Each structure stands twice: as structure tokens, then as C-alpha cells.
């Protein structure tokens, strides 16, 4: 009997395993980006006060609360409202709240004992840049009396709160960069380094620094944004206000994105090292995909000018951090012998050279456009030069002990520049509250808002707000009229119709643009369900 040896059929399972691994990594990257997009809030921009209750200079009987309504959701717990009674005494000491759950409205209760005369109201809340957006108005109970003044609201940040918050933000950014670099090195440059205990210690430490820095930044954001001293910074309502804000929800998005990214990182560390170049490239691409989602939270979490970042700006921010991450992680691990083999060192040198080129391009572009602080492009260019030196030094003697001293020296320089650059990223006035000058500030009409002008008619009132904009004047109209559901309201500013949206029972809002100063006429038409029509015309002098 002749024995026939059967050929092994390893090729098909290997192909199937490769396809399954590819699908799994694609799903992991999709999960990271899905978590980011699902939790990250849409940009809301700077709020504009549309209407108040009581209205500006309005004579009322005895209001139970002062209510401010804006054109977009605002974090009530981060706002401050101060009210002076006719005697000049402050009568409100509580933080505002959202009445009836309306996120675009804040209110504070009036005291139980109210006096006749004029009440002065001042309010402030943080803009998208964390600048104070403020305003004031008066109203009269029964009859007017000349007020003693307008209440003052302190908008200077407590040094302790500012130091804690900015340190946590900087630490989180730096730790994200290092963690992404460590993961990329293990995945694509030196897979055998994953077996070393030092590598795992660095990965765990960087992960905890990201999580800890993000949590501290979230907890301290409320006192930081609301200009609260550290002694009053433990109010849980401030944490609720931070979660309501765009920056706070972006920090939560970072933590949510870390969940699938951490799962992938754990699988990467525990899996056998990649044996082929194709497997290294696949793992490296997956790491960059997941890391990009986590790094993108820097763009959304830091205070920025109004509006969502463009895809190009988001890609530039991610590219900048990735170019910092790859060499930072490699320089950390090259201190240990397990990562100093010839092939990993050669791969690292090539990747560092590419990162240096990317940083040089990014720094030059930022310096040319002037969109960021001058030190940030300078830091990027300096780090690019350091990385170019690293790329030249590293492959010279990859297996000799003397390489360790060179690596430690160059790594120390790179770490200093990386930390400095991370600090600049956290304090960049293009997205920071520390901006100075017109380029980094909201328009003056937004920072110090004039109270809505109140006009009364037979069945309601009309609040008007005029906001200067680029090449035009934006006119905001708020109509408080009949609560009947079958009543329709239309408006026109001169020949231009003003589209009105029903924002609630008896409440309509709209916006139109005037091309420039002059005398304009606003016409308001109310049509009841029984066919009755009322037209209100009001001249508006726009200066």
C-alpha cells in the first residue's frame, strides 16, 4: 500500500485570515470616527440676545422672573445675571437655569419682596472664543425711577483655575500625541517592541494621562469659562454647564472616541507581532485612522472662532499632530534595546524624514497665511529641523550602545519642543480666549450687546436687534403676539420680506439684512383665523 502525502492547504486560510483582519481593522477605524461624529456637537457660534422679559424700559406690575432669550442654545450654568433693585442693592445670587427646558433661554427668579421703581439687569456668558458676551437693560415696576447704576460682573479669571485648566488641556494634547506615536511604532515600525514591559508601561501611562487630563479639563472648564474663583468652582451646576457647552461636549467626544481606540490598542499590544510588510502597513494605517479620530478632538475641544472647521482645516490640524506623534513615540521607545534593531531603526528614520517634511510644510503655510500665532509656525519649523537631524543620526549605528546617548540627547530636545508646541496648540489665539486684537476677538457688537428695542402694538410686542456684519446690517425680529394657533404673522423690512419662524406659542423670530445705514420701515402683518388683519409699521433708524 502506497502512502500519499497530502499537500498542506495553508494559502487559502491565510488569505481568508488576511481579509478578515482587514475588515476588522476597517470596522475599528469606522467605530472611532462614528463615536467622534455621534458625540461631537455642531458648532453654535456666538449668541445674540433676541428678546427679554420684562422688555427693555418696559413698565410692568411685578415680574416673577427675568428671562433672556437668545438666537441659539446657551449653557445656562455658565451665564451670570445680576439685578439691582431701585435702592441699588443686588437681589439675585443664583445661577441662571433653562425655563421649561428651553436651551436658548435663561432665567433667574425675582425676589419675593419687590419694590416699585427701576431695576437694572446685567448679564454675561462665554462666547465660542470664551470671551465675555455681555449686555444690560432696565425695566420699571409700576413707575420709572432713575437707577443708581448698572451691576458689574467680574470677568477676570482666577489664576488657580486658569493654571489647572490650561495645564490639563496641554497635558491631554501632549499625551494624545505620544500615545498615537507609541501605537504607530508598535504597529508599523518595530512590532517586536510590543513584547517589552517598558513599551506597555509607556502606553498605559500615556493613556491614563490622556484620560486624566481630559477629565480635569472638563471639570475645570465650567469655572474657567464662567470666570468663577476656585473656591466656588466645585458647584455641580458648573459641570452641567460645561457639558452643555460646545467645548465640554467635545471633551466628552474625546472620551467616547477613546473607547473603541482603546479596544484596538489592547488587541494590538496582545497580538503577535506583524510578520510581513503588508501586515505592518495594514496595522499602521489602522492606527493612524483611529489616532486621527482621537486627535481631531483637539480641533473641536479648544475654543475657536464661530462656525465648524472646514474639512481642510481639520485635515491640517490632524496632520500637524500626526507629524508630531510618529517621531515622539519612536524617540521614546528607541531608548530601549528592544527597538534598536537594524530594520526598525531604518523604518523609523524614513518615517521621521517624512514627518519633518510635513511639519516644514505646515509651519511654512501657517507663517505665510498668518492664521496662527507666530510662535506656533516657528515651533513647527524648529521641530522639523530637529527631526531631520534625528533622521540623519538614527540609522548610523543602530545596534551599538553609543546610539543610546545620542537618542536620549535628541529625544530630550524633541520632547522639550513637543511640549512647547503642545502648549502653543492649547493657547493658540486662533482658537483661544487669550486672543488679543481684532483678529482674535468677536465683533464689538457681539461682545457688548445693546438691549433689544421693544415696540408695543395692540395685541403684543416686537423686539428689534440690529447687529453690524461684514458689508451689511443684520436685523433680528422677535414677535410676541397672539397665542392663537391659527394666527399667521408676516414681516417686511422695506421691500425685503422677513421670513418668520414660529418658535413657540405666540412667539415668532426672523432675520433680514439691511444694506447700510439709513431710515428703514418694518411692516408687521398679523392675520387671525377669522380673517381679521392688523398691520403695524415702525420706522427704524439704522446708524
Query: Would you state the pLDDT for residue 436?
Result: 39
Residue pair 222/241 in contact (Cβ under 8 Å)? The answer is yes
The residue count for the chain? 543
Q: Is 425 in contact with 376 (CB distance < 8 Å)?
A: yes
- 526-530's contacts with Cβ under 8 Å and 24+ in sequence apart are 526/459, 526/481, 526/482, 526/487, 526/488, 526/489, 527/487, 527/488, 527/489, 527/490, 528/482, 528/484, 528/486, 528/487, 529/484, 529/486, 529/487
The dihedral built from the CA positions of residue 473, 480, 79 and 72, taken in this order, carries a sign that is negative
pTM above 0.85, yes or no: no
Phi, psi of 150 (to 5 degrees): -110, 135
461: cell is: 410686542
Do residues 417 and 379 touch, judged by C-beta distance below 8 A? yes
- Closest to 202 measured CA to CA, from 509, 411, 505, 435: 411
The whole-number pLDDT of residue 213 equals: 96
The residue extents of the domains of the chain are: 20-449, 452-542
Among residues 444, 328, 434, the alpha carbon closest in space to that of 372 is found at 434
Confirm if 217 and 162 have CB atoms less than 8 A apart. Answer: no
C-alpha cell belonging to residue 182 = 507609541
pLDDT of residue 435: 39
Give Dmax (Cα) for the chain: 119
Between the alpha carbon of residue 313 and those of residues 247, 316, 526, the distances in Å are: 17, 5, 46
pLDDT (tens, 9 = 90+) of the chain, 543 residues, equals 455 454 554 444 455 566 778 888 899 999 999 999 998 877 777 888 999 989 888 888 888 999 999 988 999 999 999 999 888 888 888 899 999 888 999 999 998 888 888 899 999 999 877 888 999 999 998 877 776 677 778 778 889 999 999 999 989 999 999 999 999 999 888 888 888 888 899 999 999 999 999 999 999 999 998 888 888 878 888 998 999 888 899 999 999 999 999 999 999 988 888 778 888 889 999 999 999 999 999 888 877 666 667 777 788 788 888 888 888 888 788 776 655 566 777 787 778 777 777 777 766 655 554 555 445 555 655 666 666 666 566 555 544 444 555 555 555 555 555 555 555 555 544 444 333 333 455 667 677 888 888 887 777 788 888 877 666 677 888 888 776 666 778 888 877 788 888 887 778 888 887 766 677 788 888 787 677 787 888 777 766
How far CA 472 is from CA of 152, 450, 469, in Å, comes to 32, 17, 5
Cβ–Cβ under 8 Å, residues 96 and 106: yes
CATH fold, domain 452-542, is: Immunoglobulin-like (2.60.40)
Phi, psi of 5 (to 5 degrees): -80, 125
Amino acid at each position: 500500500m502506497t502512502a500519499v502525502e497530502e499537500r498542506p492547504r495553508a494559502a487559502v486560510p491565510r488569505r481568508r485570515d488576511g481579509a478578515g483582519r482587514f475588515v476588522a481593522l476597517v470596522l475599528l477605524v469606522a467605530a472611532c470616527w462614528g463615536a467622534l461624529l455621534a458625540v461631537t456637537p455642531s458648532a453654535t457660534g456666538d449668541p445674540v440676545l433676541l428678546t427679554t422679559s420684562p422688555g427693555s424700559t418696559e413698565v410692568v406690575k411685578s415680574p416673577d422672573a427675568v428671562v433672556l432669550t437668545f438666537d441659539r442654545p446657551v449653557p445656562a450654568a455658565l451665564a451670570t445675571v445680576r439685578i439691582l433693585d431701585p435702592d441699588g442693592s443686588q437681589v439675585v445670587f443664583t445661577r441662571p437655569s433653562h425655563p421649561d427646558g428651553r436651551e436658548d433661554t435663561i432665567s433667574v427668579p425675582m425676589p419675593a419682596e419687590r419694590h416699585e421703581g427701576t431695576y437694572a439687569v446685567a448679564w454675561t456668558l462665554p462666547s465660542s472664543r470664551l470671551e465675555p458676551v455681555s449686555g444690560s437693560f432696565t425695566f420699571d415696576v409700576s413707575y420709572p425711577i432713575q437707577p443708581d447704576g448698572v451691576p458689574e460682573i467680574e470677568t477676570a479669571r482666577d489664576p488657580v483655575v486658569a493654571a489647572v485648566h490650561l495645564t490639563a488641556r496641554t497635558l491631554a494634547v501632549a499625551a494624545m500625541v505620544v500615545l498615537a506615536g507609541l501605537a504607530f511604532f508598535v504597529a508599523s515600525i518595530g512590532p517586536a517592541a510590543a513584547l517589552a514591559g517598558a513599551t506597555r508601561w509607556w502606553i498605559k501611562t500615556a493613556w491614563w494621562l490622556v484620560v486624566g487630563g481630559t477629565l480635569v479639563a472638563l471639570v475645570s472648564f465650567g469655572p474657567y469659562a464662567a470666570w468663577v474663583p476656585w473656591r466656588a468652582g466645585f458647584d455641580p451646576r458648573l459641570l452641567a454647564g460645561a457639558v452643555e457647552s460646545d467645548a465640554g461636549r467635545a471633551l466628552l467626544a474625546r472620551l467616547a472616541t477613546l473607547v473603541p481606540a482603546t479596544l484596538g490598542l489592547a488587541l494590538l499590544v496582545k497580538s503577535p507581532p506583524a510578520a510581513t510588510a503588508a501586515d505592518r502597513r495594514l496595522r499602521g494605517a489602522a492606527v493612524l485612522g483611529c489616532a486621527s479620530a482621537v486627535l481631531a478632538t483637539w480641533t473641536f475641544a479648544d475654543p475657536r472662532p464661530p462656525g465648524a472647521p472646514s474639512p481642510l482645516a481639520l485635515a491640517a490640524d490632524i496632520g500637524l499632530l500626526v507629524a508630531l506623534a510618529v517621531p515622539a513615540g519612536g524617540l521614546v521607545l528607541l531608548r530601549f534595546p528592544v527597538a534598536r534593531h537594524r530594520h526598525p531603526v531604518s523604518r523609523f528614520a524614513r518615517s521621521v524624514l517624512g514627518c519633518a517634511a510635513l511639519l516644514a510644510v505646515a509651519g511654512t503655510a501657517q507663517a505665510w497665511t498668518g492664521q496662527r500665532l507666530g510662535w506656533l509656525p516657528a515651533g513647527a519649523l524648529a521641530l522639523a529641523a530637529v527631526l531631520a537631524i534625528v533622521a540623519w543620526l538614527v540609522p548610523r549605528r543602530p545596534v551599538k550602545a553609543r546610539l543610546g546617548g545620542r537618542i536620549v540627547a535628541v529625544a530630550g530636545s524633541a520632547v522639550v519642543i513637543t511640549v512647547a508646541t503642545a502648549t502653543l496648540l492649547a493657547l493658540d489665539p486662533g482658537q483661544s480666549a487669550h486672543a488679543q486684537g481684532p483678529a482674535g476677538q468677536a465683533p464689538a457688537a457681539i461682545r457688548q450687546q445693546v438691549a433689544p428695542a421693544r415696540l408695543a402694538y395692540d395685541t403684543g410686542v416686537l423686539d428689534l436687534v440690529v447687529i453690524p456684519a461684514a458689508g451689511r446690517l443684520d436685523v433680528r425680529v422677535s414677535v410676541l403676539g397672539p397665542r392663537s394657533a391659527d394666527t399667521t404673522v408676516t414681516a417686511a423690512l422695506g421691500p425685503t420680506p422677513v421670513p418668520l419662524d414660529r418658535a413657540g406659542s405666540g412667539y415668532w423670530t426672523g432675520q433680514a439684512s439691511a444694506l447700510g445705514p439709513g431710515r428703514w420701515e418694518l411692516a408687521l402683518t398679523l392675520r387671525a383665523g377669522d380673517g381679521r388683519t392688523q398691520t403695524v409699521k415702525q420706522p427704524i433708524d439704522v446708524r
